[in-house]
Amino acid sequence: MNPTAVDTTESAARPAGAPAPAGRRRVPTTRGAPPGSGRRPPLVLLVPACVAALFALLPLGYLAVRALERGPGYAWDVVADERTLQLLSRSLGLTAVVVAACLVLGVSLAWLTVRTALPGARAWSVLATLPLAVPSYVAAFTWLAAAPENAGFAGAALALTLVSFPYVHLPVAAALRGIDPAQEEAARSLGHGPWRTFLRVTLPQLRPAAAGGALLVALYVLSDFGAVSLMRYDTFTRAIHTSYRASFDRTPAAALSVVLVVMTVALVAAEARTRGRAGHARTGAGTARPAAPIPLGRWRIAALAWCATVVAVAVAFPLGTLGYWLAVGSSAIWDLGDLARTAWTTLGVAAAGAALTTLLALPVGVIAARHRGRGVRLLEQAAYAGHALPGITVALSLVFFAVRYAYPLYQQLPLLVCAYAVLFLPVAVAATRAAVLQAPPVLEDVARSLGRSPISVLREVTVPLAAPGVAAGAALTFVVCMKELPATLLLRPTGMDTLATRLWTETGAGSFAAAAPYAAALILLAAIPSYLLGRHRT
Amino acid sequence: MRRPSARRTTALVAAGLLLPALAACGSDGGKDGSAEGGDSSLVIYSGRNEKLVKPILDKLEKAVGSKVEVRYGDSAELAAQILEEGDRTKAGLFFSQDAGALGALSKEGVLAKLPQSSLEEVDAAYRGGKGDWVGLSGRVRVIAYNPDKVAEDDVPDSVQDVVKPEWKDKVGFAPTNASFQAFVTGMRVIEGDDATREWLKGLKANGKTYANNLATLDAVESGEVSLGLVNHYYWYERVAEKGEDKVGAKLHFLPGEDPGALINVAGVGILKDSGQSETAQKAVDYLLSKEAQIYFADRTKEYPLAAGVTSKVEGLPPFESLESPDIDLGKLESLQETLAMLQEVGLV
């Protein structure tokens, strides 16, 4: 127990200068920004961060060229169309529902597995991470096969929620592990019940993690095409795809994509506001110890049933359906050699993608966690800006630039790896930022006061402290790279296949049974990093 | 705060990322650059599924005597990719699932004029108006029906009938499917925009929408709908796989040049800026040869389009017997207006 642990959250949630509610004053608070925020980011961080941001902005440059090639009037007509606005509201409605559902699933599972005496908590934690490995189109496919009447809004919301709630679960679980239990104990000793303590002490500290996860979910839903097209729920992304597929026209597609970028920037700004100015690292001496698990008592069965239900619908159901297709399909062909080769290729490109993405995300994440100001906000927004764009748009933008400026790389592996970095930079940035936020900035101050240069502070203090979180981000990026389809199709070296492209080929030929081994392999392989993520810091 | 287990996890993840990544880079080095290799090699962008055309493209490689690389993708996305590539395109030949994507490339002027000998192999109705693409195989729109739900004699002989009240909630179709949209375009050409718009409104009121032809056929088989507007070959493929008695749907070919009996084609065009024209031309010749045409008839159950080749698929009506509307497929480029109409009616 460390008596000097302080809560820096409460003060930030209240308007500056507002008095603490009478009778609820808690341990003394320190106000304002975390240490270090006043300084400009050191060049050693700023330069690579700007490189990463420029990288992420490439698709926007392309969109500007394409959207305006017939004049701004044309682009405006496309965007201002009544139908477009209608689709936009449908997209936003779907996003809101999926985000809300993911928050409920993600936070409840994280709390149960990290903080309570849930039987088999560790196993549940790992299992709750596995849905990440299920591509949205596979989830949609299996649900559609089992319950075709769910097609439409309900089906799309269901499929998207079940594949994306780990985006919330993972950071919230990590944040829960990082919270110093001393604060909750203080709240309890001051007369708060367990529920009040959770609401007033625990939940506010989870807010940045949950909001960061919710942002990723929102952008994922906005950009998704696979699930919504299979579920026949018309969204904004559908309008973009229709422009490519039915009218073979890239101009309206680009104009519509710009709207997605604007929306993304608004969402990122909104998320930044929910963060407030709270600090979330321990200050003072000593170390936190793990919290004592909360006994569930008579709620044990209910808690177990809840976890089991989520895992059953999100993991067991798609795997079971694939198994069923394998068992009954006459066209099931087990070409093990091809499967192994494809799996190995997939692992390779996904690993390269995750490595590059993590490397680029590191400086952005550190700056976003440690510094403030308009420039920093812009940097972070730049990293996220393209994240709601459909994969096909990002892919075409890279075709555009590579053909013009990097022709030798075109349709070569390095370009595909770059595409993954452009697509998934925010996933790694979010993980890095959260990890750095939980590392006490005072340690960096100490290192600096001892004469360490910015780069050695980074190398000797920040990165080692944040390493587990950064690794978790890398594993997460690895999983999403493995599942990626549209950019892989356009940018892969000719003749190269990943599990996702094979899956696309087989289902395109109408053969579910032949597709099943590739889908199953994809899920099982992605389960390995998911497993590491679930175990992370336990 | 740094625990050994956290370090171990980090190290594990790092190693897990580095090893396969290095392997991928290493193994990739060997086969790089071949795409641009000698002037006789050929790169085909294929919008047709690998499962359907790989065997014949493998044979094509032997027939043209040059190295052939195939990039598979979605026809429309590959067309967009070719347009982004511009005059530095890697594609020598574009093999499209439908006339629309070829028409789009033709309109942008990136396709080369084909020699008369190739064009003459195929009926003028199934090639590009500018002579820069040629159809290889044809598919016809049909009405699939569930014999448990509707007697053969009661199946409509015209798509005009499916919007009648008696078919309320009994018609399945795939509004986002390219073949469906081509058919609607055909209807616009034949019957005019106003009549087509009214028909679409009726279809929206009567019909159930599906993601694609296969899903529509599934719905007919399961009895979810009684009728489905689909392409003919899905049914023949399913029959070939499961046997006719195990397929819970039958097909009705529409008589009287009904717009619902539109024929659409898969075809090829040569990219004029690729520097692969010579080999690409050999490839076109091979794809129009008897061997390749019979492959399309037998394997994909489509109609071969080259003169003098007929399909031997059991139960398939002869191509000449089809009473399809007489439409210039080049006009199907006005897909954009069709799309606007589908949007206006609220179907896509």
DSSP per residue, B26-49? HHHHHHTTGGG-STT-EEEEE-S-
pTM over 0.95: no
pLDDT in tens, B156-189: 999 999 999 999 999 999 887 878 988 998 899 8
Task: Say how far apart CA A213 and CA A106 lie, in whole Å.
Answer: 9
Alpha-carbon torsion, ordered A346, A347, A353, A357, to 10 deg: 140
CB contacts, 8 Å: B31 with chain A: 493, 495
Q: Which two tokens stand for residue A297?
A: 């008592």
CB contacts, 8 Å: A354 with chain B: 17
Alpha-carbon torsion, ordered A314, A315, A321, A323, to 10 deg: 180
Average pLDDT of B317-331? 82
Nearest CA in chain A to B52: A509
Task: Say how far apart CA B292 and CA B309 lie, in whole Å.
Answer: 10
Task: Say how far apart CA A315 and CA A233 lie, in whole Å.
Answer: 23
Domains of chain A by start residue, with CATH? 40-282+298-535 (1.10.3720.10)
Range 341-400 of A in CB contact (< 8 A) with B: 344-345, 347-352, 354-355, 358, 392, 396, 399-400
Which amino acid, one-letter code, is at A495? G
Contacts (Cβ under 8 Å, ≥6 apart) of A89:
none
Nearest CA in chain B to A66: B84
Contact B5 A490 (CB under 8 A): no
- Specify the domain boundaries for CATH 3.40.190.10 within chain B: 39-138+264-316, 139-262+333-345
Q: What is the ipTM of this complex?
A: 0.82
Contact B348 A238 (CB under 8 A): yes
B49 touches A at CB < 8 Å: yes
pLDDT at A15: 39
Task: Say how far apart CA A427 and CA A431 lie, in whole Å.
Answer: 7
DSSP reduced 3-state for A7: coil
Q: Which two tokens stand for residue A419?
A: 């595409």
Cross-strand bridge partners of residue A384: none
Task: Say how far apart CA A416 and CA A410 lie, in whole Å.
Answer: 9
- pLDDT grade for B73, boundaries at 50, 70 and 90: very high
pLDDT at B5: 55
| Residue with more model confidence, A194 or B137 | B137
Q: Which two tokens stand for residue A492?
A: 């892969």
Residue spans of chain A under pLDDT 70: 1-39, 246-247, 276-290, 329-333, 510-511, 534-538
Cβ-based burial of B176 (10 A; exposed 0-12, middle 13-18, buried ≥19)? buried
Closest alpha carbon to B158 in B62, B256, B90, B272:
B256
Task: Say how far apart CA A272 and CA A433 lie, in whole Å.
Answer: 12
DSSP reduced 3-state for B111: strand
Q: Detail the DSSP E strand segments found in A156-274.
A: none
Cα end-to-end distance, chain A, whole Å: 20
CA angle at A136 for the pair A132 and A139, rounded to the nearest 5°: 95
Provide the residue count of chain A: 538
CA angle at B7 for the pair B3 and B12, rounded to the nearest 5°: 145
Range 202-241 of A in CB contact (< 8 A) with B: 229-230, 232, 234, 238
Closest alpha carbon to B137 in B324, B299, B336:
B299
B5 touches A at CB < 8 Å: yes
pLDDT at B28: 44
Residue B209 has pLDDT above 70, yes or no: yes
For tokens 């799996």, name the residue: A343
How many Cα atoms occupy the beta-carbon half-sphere of B300 within 13 Å?
27
Q: Are strands B263-270 and B207-209 parallel, antiparallel or unpaired?
A: unpaired
Q: Long-range CB contacts (< 8 A, 24+ apart) of B79-84?
A: B79/A248, B79/B47, B79/B104, B79/B105, B80/A244, B80/A248, B80/A250, B80/A392, B80/A396, B81/A396, B81/A399, B81/A490, B81/B45, B82/B45, B82/B110, B82/B271, B83/A250, B83/B108, B83/B110, B84/A250, B84/A396, B84/A399, B84/A400, B84/A403
Task: Say how far apart CA A441 and CA A434 lie, in whole Å.
Answer: 13
pLDDT at A484: 92
Q: Detail the DSSP E strand segments found in A176-242.
A: none
Q: Which two tokens stand for residue A15?
A: 């308007």
Closest alpha carbon to A162 in A136, A190, A126, A184:
A136
Burial B114-146 (b: 16+ CB within 10 A, else e): beeebbebbeebbbbeebbbbbbbbbbbbbbbb
Q: Which is it for the CA torsion B27, B30, B33, B38, positive or negative?
A: negative
pLDDT at A282: 55
| Sequence-ordered alpha helix ranges (H) in A116-180 | 121-127, 136-146, 153-164, 166-178
Contacts (Cβ under 8 Å, ≥6 apart) of A452:
A460, A461
Q: Which two tokens stand for residue A151?
A: 């097609």
A508 touches B at CB < 8 Å: yes
CB contacts, 8 Å: A341 with chain B: none
pLDDT at A478: 93
Contacts (Cβ under 8 Å, ≥6 apart) of A381:
A265, A268, A269
For tokens 């039958």, name the residue: B250
Q: What distance in Å separates residue A188's CA from the closest CA in chain B?
A: 25
Contact A244 B76 (CB under 8 A): yes
CATH class of B39-138+264-316: alpha beta
- pLDDT grade for B345, boundaries at 50, 70 and 90: confident
Contact B80 A247 (CB under 8 A): no
Q: Which two tokens stand for residue B282?
A: 């050999």
pLDDT at A509: 72
For tokens 């067991």, name the residue: A316
Per-residue CA distances from A217 to A360, A377, B298 (Å): 21, 20, 46
For chain A, state the CA radius of gyration.
23
For chain B, state the CA radius of gyration.
23
Residue B154 has pLDDT above 90, yes or no: yes
Give CATH for domain B139-262+333-345. Answer: 3.40.190.10
Cβ-based burial of B8 (10 A; exposed 0-12, middle 13-18, buried ≥19)? exposed
DSSP B328: -
pLDDT at A284: 53
Nearest to A400 among B32, B79, B84 (CB): B84
Q: Which is it for the CA torsion B110, B329, B193, B157, positive or negative?
A: negative
How many Cα atoms occupy the beta-carbon half-sphere of A267 within 13 Å?
29
A449 touches B at CB < 8 Å: no
pLDDT at B10: 60
Are A216 and A430 in contact by the 8 Å Cβ rule? The answer is yes
Contact A247 B339 (CB under 8 A): yes
Task: Say how far apart CA A508 and CA A518 lie, in whole Å.
Answer: 13
Closest alpha carbon to A213 in A124, A107, A111, A130:
A107
pLDDT in tens, B259-283: 999 998 999 999 999 899 999 999 9
